[in-house]
């Protein structure tokens, strides 16, 4: 045999890693091509079974909702949210309200909740003083109300600090057609909840408007809330709110220099959140999401236990044989015949 012109030990070393790398790259491409083909075949086979797709979607919803509940709704924070009315004393959530997506299917949308605050700058606050010591604090708020339905309630939370005599408050409500309504003035305290229904004298407006008397109920088990006169259309023969721009002006007359007042306006709407609320004004999305981890845990535990039990019973039948194996076979046949889902629902 003819010897090579160059000994094997004299072959350039830098060419060997390149050849090995090319071979590995080719192997990886071939493996990826086979894996890709297998995945495509699995996807085509999986798409033939709608029940499998529905089960996968349901499982994804359970897992995603469980993760969001644990991460986005911490257990300590949801306690404060769940009992916010009893902890803060402020009503900002409607009672027995449907979810906000119901407006997608309604001709007339239910109103949404509106919250404005002078501390956050959504209510204009102007304080003025005069040389003789007199002064006033004027709060002004414009409200765009595009709905024909009425809100559940309208409240004004007054937070004040003063020395000596209590400040005097006067309230003015202007409708889109220019009518000015002046509710009764409340007695100011350090923390005051002003419900418009308690200070609007509806009887006065009913005597002046014959149309309202046709639908406004003043007595009985379900009387019409008095604050409806703030939003009612002046010539409507049925209960209907007037869409448009409303203006609220609150004037505070302090009787001491160290007087400060802040307001929070809350219009309780008819829809809330993505799951609605219950009779205690609690957001139902919280229990729905926090129920998903428990539902997923029960499902996993139940599937694991039933699988282990089926394996043990089948192994016992094969091991002992005879009447044991026959009993297992009969139970299997009964399980195939009986509608398990219907019985499980019952």
Domain contains 187: yes
CATH number at residue 117: 2.60.120
Does 6 score more than 70 pLDDT? no
Hey, which residues does 180 pair with through a beta bridge? 174
CA 248, CA 141: separation in Å to the nearest integer? 5
154 Cα distance to chain centroid: 21
Report the alpha-carbon angle 101-106-112, nearest 5: 55
- pLDDT for the residue numbered 86: 64
Looking at 280, 307, 324, which one is the last position of a domain? 280
The secondary structure of residue 274, as a DSSP letter, is T
Q: 0.85 exceeded by the pTM?
A: no
State what percent of residues in the chain have pLDDT above 70. Answer: 90
DSSP letters spanning 28-95: HHHHHHHHHHHHHHHHHHHTT-HHHHHHHHHHHHHHHHHHHHHHHS-HHHHHHHHTHHHHH----S-S
DSSP letters spanning 124-152: EEEEEE-TTS-EEEEEEEEEEE--SSPPS
Q: Are 139 and 250 in contact (CB under 8 A)?
A: yes
Domain contains 1: yes
Q: How confident is the model at residue 250 (pLDDT cuts 50, 70, 90)?
A: very high
- Whether 151 and 213 map to the same domain: the answer is yes
Alpha carbons within 13 A on the beta-carbon side of 159: 9
Structure tokens at 100: 């906000």
Domain contains 102: yes
Give the contacts of 171 (CB within 8 A, at least 6 positions apart).
Answer: 156, 182, 183, 185, 194, 199, 248, 249, 250, 251
Does 339 score more than 60 pLDDT? yes
Between 2-16, 189-203, 289-303, the lowest mean confidence (pLDDT) is in 2-16
Domain count, the chain: 2
Q: Are 289 and 69 in contact (CB under 8 A)?
A: yes
The 10s digit of each residue's pLDDT in 19-72 is: 777 778 777 888 888 888 888 888 888 888 888 888 888 889 889 988 988 888
Of 155, 164, 149, the closest CA to residue 103 belongs to 149
Section 231-259 average pLDDT: 92
Domain residues for the domain of 8 are: 1-48
Give the contacts of 83 (CB within 8 A, at least 6 positions apart).
Answer: none
Looking at 246, 280, 314, which one is the last position of a domain? 280
- Whether 209 and 142 map to the same domain: the answer is yes
- Whether 100 and 200 map to the same domain: the answer is yes
Domain contains 107: yes
Between 9-18, 116-125, 229-238, the lowest mean confidence (pLDDT) is in 9-18
Does 259 score more than 60 pLDDT? yes
Tell me whether strands 124-129 and 135-145 are parallel, antiparallel or unpaired: antiparallel
- Whether 150 and 30 map to the same domain: the answer is no
Domain contains 295: no
């Amino acid at each position: 045999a003819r010897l090579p012109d160059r000994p094997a030990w004299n072959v350039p070393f830098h060419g060997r890693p390149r050849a090995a790398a090319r071979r590995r790259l080719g192997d990886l491409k071939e493996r990826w091509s086979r894996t890709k083909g297998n995945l495509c075949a699995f996807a085509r086979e999986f798409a033939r079974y709608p029940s499998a797709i529905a089960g996968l979607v349901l499982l994804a919803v359970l897992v995603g909702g469980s993760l969001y509940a644990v991460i986005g709704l911490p257990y300590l924070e949801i306690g404060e949210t769940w009992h916010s009315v009893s902890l803060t004393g402020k009503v900002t959530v409607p009672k027995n309200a449907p979810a906000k997506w119901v407006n997608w299917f309604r001709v007339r949308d239910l109103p949404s909740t509106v919250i404005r605050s002078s501390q956050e700058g959504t209510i204009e606050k102007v304080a003025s003083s005069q040389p003789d010591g007199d002064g006033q604090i004027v709060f002004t708020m414009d409200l765009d109300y595009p709905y024909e339905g009425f809100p559940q309630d309208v409240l004004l939370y007054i937070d004040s600090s003063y020395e000596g005599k209590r400040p005097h408050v006067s309230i003015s409500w202007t409708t889109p057609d220019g009518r000015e309504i002046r509710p009764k003035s409340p007695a100011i305290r350090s923390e005051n909840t002003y419900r418009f229904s308690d200070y609007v004298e509806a009887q006065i407006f009913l005597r002046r408007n014959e149309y309202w008397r046709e639908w406004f109920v003043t007595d009985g088990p379900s009387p019409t809330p008095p604050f409806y006169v703030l939003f009612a259309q002046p010539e409507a023969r049925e209960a209907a709110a007037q869409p448009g721009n409303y203006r609220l002006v609150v004037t505070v007359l302090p009787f001491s220099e160290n007087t400060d007042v802040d307001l929070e306006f809350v219009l309780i709407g008819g829809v809330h959140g993505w799951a609605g609320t219950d009779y205690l004004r609690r957001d139902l999305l919280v229990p729905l999401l926090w129920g998903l981890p428990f539902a997923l845990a029960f499902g996993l535990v139940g599937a694991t236990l039933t699988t282990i039990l089926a394996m043990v019973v089948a192994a016992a039948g094969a091991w002992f044989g005879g009447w044991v194996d026959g009993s297992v076979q009969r139970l299997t046949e009964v399980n195939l015949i009986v509608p398990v889902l219907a019985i499980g629902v019952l």
